[in-house]
């Protein structure tokens, strides 16, 4: 990372504030430093503490200036309409995850709008749930659609980390006011429209997990997963310093103890979670599977991991880019892979492998 010239620090002190200069090592430019200083001040104004406000601001600025991610400094990250609480030890939600979560919600609602008989329930299974940002935003978005006004929504989040499960439950409580169904005279009093959400601390590699999930729901409608998918070399080479220094390796890199499983599955070590999730999908047979990936090459590897059984089960296989809804109406983008036509949607890097038992959606 190039060093900043002294003139930038002088300008920050003179034009903004000495605090902005303190933020520059992390923010790298004046505009970002000014924005983050404004957010820190707003955070201090909006939260109570026995510590004097100016001292709190200085402490937070100093913390951010050391490189601590802003989400950990402020303790929150916007995610759609939600405010997701963030704590060290749990991965910070990314904007790309928000984009495909909202796109998935739009597909689900479009599907229900075309149905003559809306389903009585819709169930979502989120593996490696972390902060629970994905199921929380899905539930919030889905209950806003009239086509699902008569549908009971349920989600279940799984994570191996007790810190993540604790934070997921905290986020559920923190956003509970946004997870209550909007009042409407057209909604039957016999339908419980308030989404239900549960969390379990467990490893997805545990042989005991599948029976538990089958007992919770005989048919999962959606399986989502944002697993650890970065290689050890990629972690050292490609990730930002703040990610390496402050975010949990457990949520980014598959544990070295899983290397043996990767060898058995004949996949790269960073792809071992996908092998397990696809194995689970073959048993649970959710109508849709949404797997976040770390780029185009990994997306193609995951598609290549689909067994003949899964290829027969899922009639639609797609790769979504960072912004899957962008560019709708443009010329259709398709790649031929393993004798199968794979639709590519959106703009940006490869971000999601999407499987659907029905025919192609979204135009």
Condensed to tens digits (0 to 9), the pLDDT of residues 37-54 reads 999 999 999 999 999 999
- For residues 253 and 293, state if they share a domain: yes
Decide if pLDDT at 361 tops 70.
no
Residue 75 lies in a domain: no
- For residues 15 and 157, state if they share a domain: no
- For residues 124 and 242, state if they share a domain: yes
- For residues 227 and 315, state if they share a domain: yes
Residue range(s) defining the domain that contains residue 331: 95-356
Residue 29 lies in a domain: yes
**Predicted confidence band of residue 119 (pLDDT cuts 50, 70, 90):** confident
Burial class (CB in 10 A: 0-12, 13-18, 19+), 276: buried
pLDDT at 185: 40
Of 67, 85, 109, the residue at which a domain comes to its end is: 67
Condensed to tens digits (0 to 9), the pLDDT of residues 198-222 reads 999 999 999 999 999 998 877 899 9
Specify the higher pLDDT residue, 311 or 147: 311
Task: Tally the domains of the chain.
Answer: 2
Q: Which residue stretches of 175-257 are H helix?
A: 209-216, 232-238, 241-246
What average pLDDT does the segment 248-277 reach? 92
Tokens of 105: 């919600």
Cβ partners under 8 Å of residue 361, min gap 6 = 107, 110, 111, 316
Decide if pLDDT at 118 tops 80.
no
- For residues 51 and 199, state if they share a domain: no
- For residues 188 and 306, state if they share a domain: yes
Choice among 29-33, 121-125, 356-360 with the minimum mean pLDDT: 356-360
- For residues 137 and 259, state if they share a domain: yes
Evaluate the CA torsion angle 63, 64, 70, 74 in order and state its sign. positive
- For residues 123 and 30, state if they share a domain: no
Decide if pLDDT at 110 tops 90.
no
CATH number for the domain spanning 232: value is 3.40.50.150
Whole-prediction pTM: 0.93
**Mean pLDDT rounded to a whole number for the chain:** 92
């Amino acid at each position: 990372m190039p060093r900043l010239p002294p003139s930038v620090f002088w300008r920050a002190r003179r034009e903004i504030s000495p605090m902005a200069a303190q933020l520059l090592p992390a923010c790298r430019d004046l505009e970002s430093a000014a924005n983050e200083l404004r957010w820190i001040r707003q955070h201090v104004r909006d939260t109570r503490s026995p510590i004097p406000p100016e001292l709190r601001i200085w402490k937070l600025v100093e913390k951010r200036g050391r490189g601590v991610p802003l989400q950990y400094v402020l303790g929150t990250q916007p995610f759609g309409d939600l405010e997701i609480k963030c704590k060290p030890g749990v991965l910070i939600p990314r904007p790309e995850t928000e984009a495909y979560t909202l796109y998935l919600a739009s597909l689900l609602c479009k599907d229900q709008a075309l149905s003559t008989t809306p389903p009585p329930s819709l169930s979502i299974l989120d593996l490696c749930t972390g902060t629970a940002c994905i199921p929380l935003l899905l539930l919030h978005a889905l209950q806003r659609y009239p086509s699902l006004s008569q549908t009971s929504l349920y989600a279940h989040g799984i994570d191996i980390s007790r810190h993540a499960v604790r934070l997921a439950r905290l986020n559920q409580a923190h956003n509970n006011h946004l997870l209550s169904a909007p009042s409407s005279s057209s909604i039957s009093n016999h339908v419980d429209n308030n989404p239900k959400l549960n969390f379990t601390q467990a490893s997805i590699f545990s042989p005991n997990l599948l029976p538990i999930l089958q007992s919770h729901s005989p048919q999962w409608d959606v399986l989502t997963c944002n697993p650890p998918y970065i290689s050890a070399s990629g972690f050292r080479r490609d990730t930002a310093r703040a990610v390496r220094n402050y975010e949990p390796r457990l949520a980014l890199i598959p544990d070295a103890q899983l290397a043996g499983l990767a060898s058995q599955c004949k996949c790269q070590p960073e792809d071992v979670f996908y092998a397990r999730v696809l194995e689970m999908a073959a048993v649970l047979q959710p109508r849709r599977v949404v797997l976040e990936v770390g780029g185009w090459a990994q997306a193609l590897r995951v598609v290549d991991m689909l067994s003949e059984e899964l290829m027969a089960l899922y009639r639609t296989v797609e790769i979504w880019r960072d912004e899957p809804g962008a560019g709708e109406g443009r010329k259709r983008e398709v790649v031929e892979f393993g004798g199968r036509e794979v639709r590519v949607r959106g703009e940006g890097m490869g971000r999601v492998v999407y499987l659907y038992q029905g025919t192609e959606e979204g135009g």
